[in-house]
Structure 1
Amino acid sequence: MASHRFQPTMSRLLIALLASAMIAPAFAAAPFVIKDIRVEGIQRTEPGTVFSYVPFKVGDSFSDELASETIRALYATGFFKDVRVDVQGDVVVISIEERPAIAAVSFVGNKEFDTDTLKKALRDVGIAEARIYDKAVIDRAEQEIKSQYLTRSKYGAKVATTITPIERNRVNVTFTIDEGEVAKIQDIRFIGNKAFSDRELRDQIVLRTPGWFTFFTKDDQYSRQKLSADLESLRSFYLNRGYLEFNIESSQVSISPDRQEISITINLFEGEKYTVSDIKVSGETLGRTEELRQLIKIKAGDTFNGDRMTESVKAMTDRLGAFGFAFATINPQPNIDRDKRSVAFDFFVDPGRRAYVRRVNVVGNTRTRDEVIRREVRQFESAWYDSEKIRLSRDRIDRLAYFDTVNVDTSPVPGTADQIDVTYTVKEKATGQIAAAVGYNSTDKLVITASISQANVFGSGKTLGAEINTSRASRALAISTVDPYFTVDGVSRSIDFYTRTSNTANLNLAPVRVEAQGASMRFGVPFTDLDTVFLGLAVERNRISNVSDIRYQDYILRYGEETYAGIGTLGWGRDSRNSGIAPTRGGLRRFNAEVSGGDLTYYKLDYQEQLFWPVTQTLTLALNTQATYADGLGKRPYPFFKNLYAGGIGSVRGFEGGTLGPKQILSDGSLGNALGGTKRLIGNLELQIPVPGQGKEKTARMFAFVDTGYLWGENERVRLNDMRFSAGVGLTWLSPVGPLKLSYGRPLVSKPGDRVERFQFQVGTGF
């Protein structure tokens, strides 16, 4: 129970009326002309504030009616708890007693919510520093705090308020909170279900009784929002199985006397299971009746399915939207035959008026320039509305990977029947990545690693990056820049300058030291909204040393330790993913051909395809395949220091990075380090799952995977029975230092000599 040192006064209106009645006899004398007005008793309030509410001034004729009106006006401000009007000769004296001001608001015992969150909630009900203290507002504040705890299933929370007077007519307000224990769901019951058991129905909802993972997910804590969502899930479950007349008649939530246990009872009416007997399309179909009929995903003879019905309506609406009919409506009218337990649907089409887009708005980009977003938009202002172009524009903006979320809304223009506004709302994310580390070990001695990359530098859409690495296994200094709109037509340009030194002896590979310096320039020319052709040219100098394998030594004897080469590239890419951060549908296809001339004459062909399918609203199935083939030109062998490698994250997890494929044969006949190869096949299948409790954020995902792949040498034939397989689980996190992928995998198919590495991680990975 709350305790207060200041006892409450009566309501302001009642006090004002009583005060007015009490002062009436005091001013029964004849009116007089006011010579002066004095205000007494104020401490914090400015005299001008009081005078602004007084309905008279010096020189006016004073009466008891004016006195009553003054008292009522000053009480109504809420600043004062006592107001008196006295007369001393021809001087009016207004005596007031101010209400205390709140000097500080503090909390004791709050653990579930931080202090700032509670202060913000109380500010909305009128409790904050410098505001006037009011007992009625304090009572509302206590109820507001309790309501905050109800959202966390703490139904037994108690709040006590202590008011401490301090100098200058101020008070400190302290809320002492006993949070109590979290009320857990102990029972979920269903009444009226015959077709499905309670267990089957519980599997369809999020709320559940305490279990192994509910400590983390908090799904055993009741909330009205979760229950509403679960009731919709149950409705969808039944409708998708033919129960057209299914209804949730009621849901009751009861709490135990000690406020620690919650029981939920859901009353259902299942009805009968219906089969679709006929499908028709009618109304104004714009001569596209058969085209619209093909979009209907439910056919005669099928069991009624609510999701397919919704998908059919959306597909038909979107199709009409592609022709400018933004306000088209599709109304599936059912004709139910209860005796035969069948239903026929007539999809009535009303296209409405053709609309055009008045404005395209961009909202939420605090850092990224408008033009960076608008140049991805394919729906133009003053053009006919096109739902496909609007969706494509949203996907293109999301593929920039500059934003956490990208949403699009369409709204009719008030006062018009054929205009619409399109608004793209984005939420900025940190696009810069910076990492630095200093370490020391017996192999590399002092190691300094640093990198910085800004994918949207100054909000321009350009990328600028630099890298430095001093480890003995891989030394590097590189600078790169990418301008995705080098020309106004969308031709991109990327430039790289680099010097790298790799020593494979420190990576469990065949020992070789390669020093490479080079520069490259690449252009990307879009020829559709999804397809881009890439053209590039690079110059490179390589110096090879510390070679131990005899095959590598033979190559150096024939072609020398130092080589110069010009490398040309020709590529194609098609990106139809709906997001550049966490895609759930679409695909990415890339083909790249590389040809080298000069001291090095070789070619390399690489094809990669990624596909994404939404299994459910939260689960995504992702497939990655990659095939690479390389060989020498002009009867020269392929340069061994350009060899391909397989194994580890990015290829076949569960095997040590780069160790699959041909290996050295040591003098005792055993297998040594990996040599790399020229032919590679990789396949990865992932079931991607959002991390529980993450909400709409895309920064972290769990996954289960199956990988396969292998690598063959220059003189080896590709044999599919050489393929290795592995399976496991992992986590992807878009960390502040770049994409981080962790995986734990176990080989399913391996052979002697394979090096197993079950736990692996890498920063900066893609798929």
Structure 2
Amino acid sequence: MSFGCVWLGGALTAATIEKIVVTSDTGASVSEQVVLANMDSAPGTTFDPKRLSDDIKRLYKTGAFEDVRTSLQEEPGDKVVITVTVRPKPVVREIIFEGNQLLKTKKLRDLVKHPVSAPVDEAQVVKDTEAIRKRYRDKGSFQTSVETIIQKVPNTNDANLVFRIQEEKRMKLESVSFDGNVLFSERKLRKTIVSKRHWWNVIFRLGGWYDENRLKMDEDALRDLYTENGYLDFNVLSIEKKVDKKEKWIALTFHLVEGAPYKVNSITFSGNNRFSEEELRPLVHLKPSDTYNSKTEREDLQRVRSKYEVLGYLDLRCYPDLTPNSEAHTVGIEFRINEGIPSRVHDVYISGNEVTKDHVIRRELALVPGDLGDAGKIRTSKSRLENLNYFETVEISAVSTEKAEEKDLQVRVKEKKTGQFSVGAGVSSEEAVLGFVELTQSNFDWKNWPSFRGGGQRLRLRTQLGTQISNVSLSFTEPWWLDRRLRLGLEAFYNTRIEDVYEQQNIGLGANVSRPWDLSWLKSHLASSLQPLAESWRQSTGLTVQQVTLRDFDDDVSAQMADEEGRYTANAVSVGVSRDTRNRLINPSRGASFNLGGELTADALGSYGNIVKFDAAGAKYFPVFEDSVLKLAVRAGVTDGISGDEPAIFDRYFAGGAYSVRGFRRRDISPVDENEDSLGGKALLTGTVEFIQPIFERISGSVFTDLGNVWEDPGDMDPTKMNQSVGLGLQIDLPIGPIRLDYGWPIATEMDHLSKTGRFHFNIGTTF
């Protein structure tokens, strides 16, 4: 940007602008109207240098000019003429692709969002180039290069946007083998590296492309595996590559030198002033005479760092320096520390959030101005922002200020699309054939018309249609209601399900408010080993307003069952507490979940009666051996009427089926009428013990025993009288969706109507 003028001192500051002349330094035609429309300076107004400077900035922001220069000419009568000289950006005449064979031009054109007949937008060109590279990577051509050329059209201000593509020949990975390995099996090493041929690549012919860039990652993964077992001399000598004659397949052989394990002979500290060696040494779990373990060393390093970080040492530098003795196979570890000084947060700056509002990001940060600069809390803040799933990347860095004891936090995000349209289908033993359509916006903002994005709310519209069920729901979630850590959930629903002898329809509205449950007062009274039990709790309160219709009963149902027919108003309030420490929601391998809740359906709310219900459920996951998981789960519930009221059949309990007690038919575990139709009971108790073992990647097998019963009255509940089954399960996680198969055999039944033959349960679903 340049700003040139001819004036002395403040002589022109009171001058009147006589006229503004617009010219081009390339000879290309320029729309004078466009230039003047973006300037506040105008003929007849008083000349203001600052206003002219703002005009230049505004012209740049139009994106139509590469350069903008101004000059001033003083005229008689205290007047001035402003000449604006611009260099227009080339206008894209045509978008051209060169060198593409793997991808058709039409496919590439759909990726490019830069418009024709518009000035060149460098930022959009970069995005389009990356979109083309990504599509080639998705197709297995990882080394394909894409060069962008702005090709001027002679004697015009037009240019062609040329994407020059140099494609790399693709090859599929045929096999991976290892040479020189003694400590670990080939199977273990294959599981460790990134380059591998998955079984679904073979069966479904999906992916499996060879990527040269992954070999460095493979070497690092193998080195981590060996150094975690003390093998400091481990080395990948070479990676042999064999390509078939047609250059379609490649086989890799990793040639390894393992060496021997090292023992730790000393652990020392240097540079530590704030804490003595006696204070730091208990944080290090590696001990002299232990076999060296790089993973334990990293954990020790983080414990040392954390001791400093909570006190604001953002400039802390701490790293282990190893001194190996290759003859004795021992290693000395020196933790070198450069402490710096404690600092506090001065201010927080956020950039890159074009859609997401600032306050949505700020409320997830664990630090505010004035807090000690705790690097642990910076990592927590980064994790929270990543978990929002609004951003492709999140970077938080501490930047020095004029005061050594103060730091600014710079939060840089790169946003991604948060709207999703899903169509899916599935088949199961419980719901038969089922299809769904779902529209979700996870960064919704009901106040931001017309885009309705950026407020950190969630909106979901879902429709399910099947042979047994038909559901429509619209839900809204505000995670920070009233600008507090209160999660507000609203839902409207219309559900229909065909049961064995009748059809049930639920239509209504629901509202729920939950918040973290602060048990810090209890934590301080617990032993250190029990203190985690006071963390990760939530409280919730809810209201449901619904109408339940039971209709289309079979002609031959019993009188007891026929009495259930009709329309019910079932408005209820609920309260609950929950705790979830699972390491992941899908296929967890450690942690636990617990839910305890109570619900009151009251005639004071316009309901069909006064009904109270209490439910408790919990699951615990234990890692066993290397990859195996032991799951223990239990659920209990009781319901009853108050003042002589009786719970309707939809408020009673049933057990059995794929999600309850496997080996029994859905809802079969229940008191029955004279026709052996399930009526439900007022008390339920179920439990599961399941051992889950990975077989291959994305395939797990399990052995389980389920048990449970449903009693007519709460007083009849007897944990010694349970229906029980044993069985085998198989779960296959495919790219197109999960497949779950279970077979259970009843080995104990407490009800005469229950079948003693085995039962197969399956669930196959996909989203596309």
What TM-score, normalized to structure 1? 0.61
Alignment correspondent of 1:311: 299
Confirm whether residue 403 of structure 1 aligns to residue 390 of structure 2. yes
| Between 407-416 and 307-316, the greater mean CA deviation after superposition | 407-416
Partner Cα distance (1:474, 1:328) in 2: 59
Is the Cα–Cα contact under 8 Å of residues 350 and 358 in structure 2 kept in the other structure? yes
Structure 2 counterparts to residues 602-621 of structure 1, below 5 A: 602-609=611-618
2:600 to 595, 599, 621: 595
| Between 683-692 and 262-271, the greater mean CA deviation after superposition | 683-692
Partner Cα distance (1:743, 1:304) in 2: 42
2:741 to 731, 739, 744: 744
Is the Cα–Cα contact under 8 Å of residues 624 and 630 in structure 2 kept in the other structure? no
2:639 to 631, 642, 646: 631
Alignment correspondent of 1:572: 577
Structure 2 counterparts to residues 196-345 of structure 1, below 5 A: 201=189, 204-207=192-195, 213=201, 222-251=210-239, 268-281=256-269, 283-284=271-272, 286-287=274-275, 292-336=280-324, 340-345=328-333
CA positional deviation for 1:661: 1.6
Is the Cα–Cα contact under 8 Å of residues 424 and 435 in structure 2 kept in the other structure? yes
1:483-527 deviation line (CA, Å, top 9, x unaligned):
333312233434445565x56xx333xx34555565544332444
Is the Cα–Cα contact under 8 Å of residues 479 and 486 in structure 2 kept in the other structure? yes
In structure 2, do the counterparts of structure 1 residues 549 and 607 end up closer, same or farther at CA, with 3 Å as the change threshold? farther
Structure 2 counterparts to residues 664-679 of structure 1, below 5 A: 664=672, 675=680, 678-679=683-684
Structure 2 counterparts to residues 494-509 of structure 1, below 5 A: 494-496=489-491, 502=496, 506-508=498-500
Total equivalences in the alignment? 614
Confirm whether residue 710 of structure 1 aligns to residue 704 of structure 2. no
In structure 2, do the counterparts of structure 1 residues 561 and 763 end up closer, same or farther at CA, with 3 Å as the change threshold? farther
Code of the residue aligned with 1:717 in structure 2: it is: D
* 1:410 alignment partner, SS class: strand
* 2:481 alignment partner, SS class: coil
In structure 2, do the counterparts of structure 1 residues 309 and 745 end up closer, same or farther at CA, with 3 Å as the change threshold? same
Alignment correspondent of 2:729: 728
In structure 2, do the counterparts of structure 1 residues 422 and 588 end up closer, same or farther at CA, with 3 Å as the change threshold? farther
Partner Cα distance (1:375, 1:250) in 2: 50
* 1:373 alignment partner, SS class: helix
Partner Cα distance (1:211, 1:386) in 2: 45
* 2:226 alignment partner, SS class: helix
Alignment correspondent of 1:110: 101
Partner Cα distance (1:521, 1:232) in 2: 50
Task: Report the aligned-residue RMSD.
Answer: 6.0
Is the Cα–Cα contact under 8 Å of residues 325 and 351 in structure 1 kept in the other structure? yes
Partner Cα distance (2:465, 2:610) in 1: 31
Which structure has the larger Rg? 1
Is the Cα–Cα contact under 8 Å of residues 655 and 758 in structure 1 kept in the other structure? no
Partner Cα distance (2:565, 2:107) in 1: 69
1:193-251 deviation line (CA, Å, top 9, x unaligned):
66567776556434468988468798976543221111112212221221123334555
Structure 1: state its 5+ residue gaps. 1-45, 50-100, 123-129, 132-143, 158-167, 438-442, 693-700
Code of the residue aligned with 1:322 in structure 2: it is: V
Is the Cα–Cα contact under 8 Å of residues 686 and 703 in structure 1 kept in the other structure? no
Partner Cα distance (1:155, 1:470) in 2: 45
1:37-89 deviation line (CA, Å, top 9, x unaligned):
xxxxxxxxx9969xxxxxxxxxxxxxxxxxxxxxxxxxxxxxxxxxxxxxxxx
Is the Cα–Cα contact under 8 Å of residues 654 and 759 in structure 1 kept in the other structure? no
CA positional deviation for 1:267: 5.3
Partner Cα distance (1:217, 1:289) in 2: 58
Alignment correspondent of 1:374: 362
Partner Cα distance (2:352, 2:615) in 1: 39
Is the Cα–Cα contact under 8 Å of residues 568 and 594 in structure 1 kept in the other structure? yes
In structure 2, do the counterparts of structure 1 residues 366 and 660 end up closer, same or farther at CA, with 3 Å as the change threshold? farther
Code of the residue aligned with 1:594 in structure 2: it is: E
Alignment correspondent of 1:524: 514
Is the Cα–Cα contact under 8 Å of residues 533 and 571 in structure 1 kept in the other structure? yes
Alignment correspondent of 2:64: none
1:128-177 deviation line (CA, Å, top 9, x unaligned):
xx99xxxxxxxxxxxx99xx89x9589999xxxxxxxxxx9x99999999
Alignment correspondent of 1:534: 540
Code of the residue aligned with 2:670 in structure 1: it is: P
2:339 to 331, 351, 357: 351
CA positional deviation for 1:632: 0.9
1:424-461 deviation line (CA, Å, top 9, x unaligned):
63643444557799xxxxx99xx998776544432323
| Between 671-680 and 347-356, the greater mean CA deviation after superposition | 671-680
Is the Cα–Cα contact under 8 Å of residues 651 and 684 in structure 1 kept in the other structure? no
Is the Cα–Cα contact under 8 Å of residues 208 and 219 in structure 1 kept in the other structure? no
Partner Cα distance (2:336, 2:167) in 1: 59
* 2:302 alignment partner, SS class: helix
* 1:568 alignment partner, SS class: strand
Partner Cα distance (2:384, 2:205) in 1: 33
* 1:664 alignment partner, SS class: coil
CA positional deviation for 1:116: 7.3
Partner Cα distance (1:595, 1:476) in 2: 25
1:663-702 deviation line (CA, Å, top 9, x unaligned):
63666xxx6557466314355869799999xxxxxxxx87
Is the Cα–Cα contact under 8 Å of residues 185 and 210 in structure 1 kept in the other structure? no
Partner Cα distance (2:173, 2:459) in 1: 51
Code of the residue aligned with 1:305 in structure 2: it is: N
Partner Cα distance (2:173, 2:424) in 1: 45
Partner Cα distance (2:490, 2:187) in 1: 60
What TM-score, normalized to structure 2? 0.61
Code of the residue aligned with 2:638 in structure 1: it is: A
Code of the residue aligned with 1:664 in structure 2: it is: V
* 1:303 alignment partner, SS class: coil
Percent of aligned positions that are identical: 20
* 1:311 alignment partner, SS class: helix
Partner Cα distance (1:756, 1:322) in 2: 56
| Between 344-353 and 720-729, the greater mean CA deviation after superposition | 720-729
CA positional deviation for 1:380: 1.6
Structure 2: state its 5+ residue gaps. 1-24, 29-91, 113-118, 121-131, 146-155, 426-430, 445-451, 519-534, 749-754
| Between 385-394 and 584-593, the greater mean CA deviation after superposition | 584-593
In structure 2, do the counterparts of structure 1 residues 298 and 723 end up closer, same or farther at CA, with 3 Å as the change threshold? farther
Partner Cα distance (1:299, 1:243) in 2: 17
CA positional deviation for 1:346: 3.7
* 2:482 alignment partner, SS class: coil
| Between 527-536 and 181-190, the greater mean CA deviation after superposition | 181-190
CA positional deviation for 1:375: 1.7
In structure 2, do the counterparts of structure 1 residues 383 and 613 end up closer, same or farther at CA, with 3 Å as the change threshold? farther
Partner Cα distance (2:569, 2:541) in 1: 20
Alignment correspondent of 1:24: none
In structure 2, do the counterparts of structure 1 residues 364 and 727 end up closer, same or farther at CA, with 3 Å as the change threshold? farther
Code of the residue aligned with 1:756 in structure 2: it is: R
Partner Cα distance (2:251, 2:473) in 1: 62
